[in-house]
């Protein structure tokens, strides 16, 4: 199958590209290399350096490639950045998504045309009253990034309805694993690990009780592989349904690396969700996905990848 992966030079997108190629698919990557890296690109995937905000460029690529599937990972994925200056996040995550959808509507080919999207369970629900959240939990984002993903989902539903292709929207938890950029804003595991490795104390924003749900990237990639065939116009949470605090991540990594110093406790950042856990029972029921790699296994795997 011909698949276009946007954001295929980034952390998660590059692993998705690798998995699709391993399965024998023909993969084309679009990325502007703003937070992605050439070294993440799979040599067996055709690469276009392009910005999804540029409709003309996107249309040209789609006209040439005529994909059956689009796996859309390109985005500005930083909460604090989106709070300081929201417009670029809206432009890439909403208008850029609309550009990709428009091009796919026009040039997508094949009977099983589908659009797979990486939304975020960690930001679209905001600070929910009840956790773990299900897909029916009200969407109340508290950052422009979260809002951009909510609107991205709506744009996808609209184009799918009008142009008659299927979609699968995954709402990810915090994803961690090899290739995550330790210099980025997100990715607590990569940031803490990157600092501890060189003997520096990581900063915990708040008192360490802020929680997230964590999945290893291999589990997330497996959802994207299953999503090529299963799930028709579905929104599916991805996660363990477990609250993992920043302190727990710090402690697990410190144990793994034999790091003896305490963290620095810095002021909590507003716009960040305080408490979340993401229930993925629906993904299990609808597409047969459930997470496999526990946090301790995942952290060991991550540490061993260096």
- Give the tokens for residue 124: 């679209």
Distance CA 304, CA 142 (A): 36
Q: Which of 22, 23, 34, 85 binds ligand NAD (CB under 6 A)?
A: 34
Cβ-contact 132, 199 below 8 angstroms = no
Pick the stretch among 8-16, 160-168, 248-256, 291-299 that binds ligand NAD (CB under 6 A): 8-16
CA 247 to chain centre: 23
Q: Does 29 bind ligand NAD (CB under 6 A)?
A: no
In the complex, least distance from residue 199 CB atom to ligand NAD, rounded to whole angstroms:
26
β-strand pairing of 203-205 with 264-266: parallel
**145 carries an active-site annotation:** yes
Active-site residue, selected from the candidate residues 145, 159, 172, 176: 145
Where are any strands of DSSP class E within the chain? 2-6, 26-31, 46-49, 69-72, 114-120, 166-172, 174-176, 203-205, 211-212, 214-216, 234-237, 244-245, 264-266
Q: Does 36 bind ligand NAD (CB under 6 A)?
A: yes
In the complex, least distance from residue 172 CB atom to ligand NAD, rounded to whole angstroms:
4
In the complex, least distance from residue 179 CB atom to ligand NAD, rounded to whole angstroms:
8
Contact set for ligand NAD, span 168-227 (CB under 6 A): 172, 174-175, 186
Smaller CB distance to ligand NAD: residue 77 or 252? 77
Smaller CB distance to ligand NAD: residue 14 or 24? 14
Of 285, 143, 293, nearest in space to 215 by CA = 293
CB-count burial class (<10 Å; 0-12, 13-18, 19+) for 95:
middle
In the complex, least distance from residue 145 CB atom to ligand NAD, rounded to whole angstroms:
7
- Neighbouring CB atoms inside 10 A of 228's CB total 20
Smaller CB distance to ligand NAD: residue 38 or 261? 38
Catalytic residues: 145
Judged by the rule CB under 6 A, the positions of this chain that interact with ligand NAD are 7, 9-13, 30-36, 51-53, 73-77, 92, 96, 118, 120, 122, 172, 174-175, 186
């Amino acid at each position: 199958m011909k698949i276009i992966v946007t954001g295929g030079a980034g952390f998660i997108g590059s692993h998705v590209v690798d998995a699709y190629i391993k399965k024998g698919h023909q993969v084309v990557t679009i990325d502007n290399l703003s937070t992605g890296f050439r070294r993440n690109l799979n040599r067996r995937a055709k690469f276009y350096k392009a910005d999804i905000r540029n409709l003309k460029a996107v249309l040209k690529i789609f006209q040439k490639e005529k994909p059956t599937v689009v796996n859309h990972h390109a985005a500005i994925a930083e909460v604090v950045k989106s709070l300081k200056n929201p417009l670029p996040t809206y432009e890439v995550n909403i208008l850029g998504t609309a550009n990709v959808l428009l091009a796919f509507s026009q040039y997508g080919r094949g009977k099983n045309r589908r659009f797979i999207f990486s939304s975020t369970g960690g930001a679209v629900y905001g600070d929910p009253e009840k956790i773990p959240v299900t897909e029916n939990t009200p969407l109340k984002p508290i950052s422009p990034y979260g809002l951009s993903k909510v609107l991205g989902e709506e744009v996808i539903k609209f184009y799918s309805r009008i142009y008659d292709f299927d979609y699968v929207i995954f709402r990810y938890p915090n994803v961690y694993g090899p290739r995550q950029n330790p210099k980025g804003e997100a990715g607590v595991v990569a940031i803490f690990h990157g600092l501890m490795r060189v003997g520096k104390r990581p900063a915990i924003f708040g008192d360490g009780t802020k929680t997230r749900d964590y999945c290893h990237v291999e589990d997330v990639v497996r959802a994207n592989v299953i999503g090529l065939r299963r799930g028709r116009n579905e929104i599916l949470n991805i996660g363990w349904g477990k609250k993992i605090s920043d302190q727990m991540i710090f402690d697990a990594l410190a144990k793994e690396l034999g790091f003896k110093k305490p963290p620095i406790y810095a002021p909590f950042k507003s716009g960040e969700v305080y408490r979340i856990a993401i229930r993925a029972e629906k993904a299990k029921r609808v597409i047969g996905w459930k997470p496999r790699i526990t946090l301790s296994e995942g952290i060991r795997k991550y540490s061993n990848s260096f």
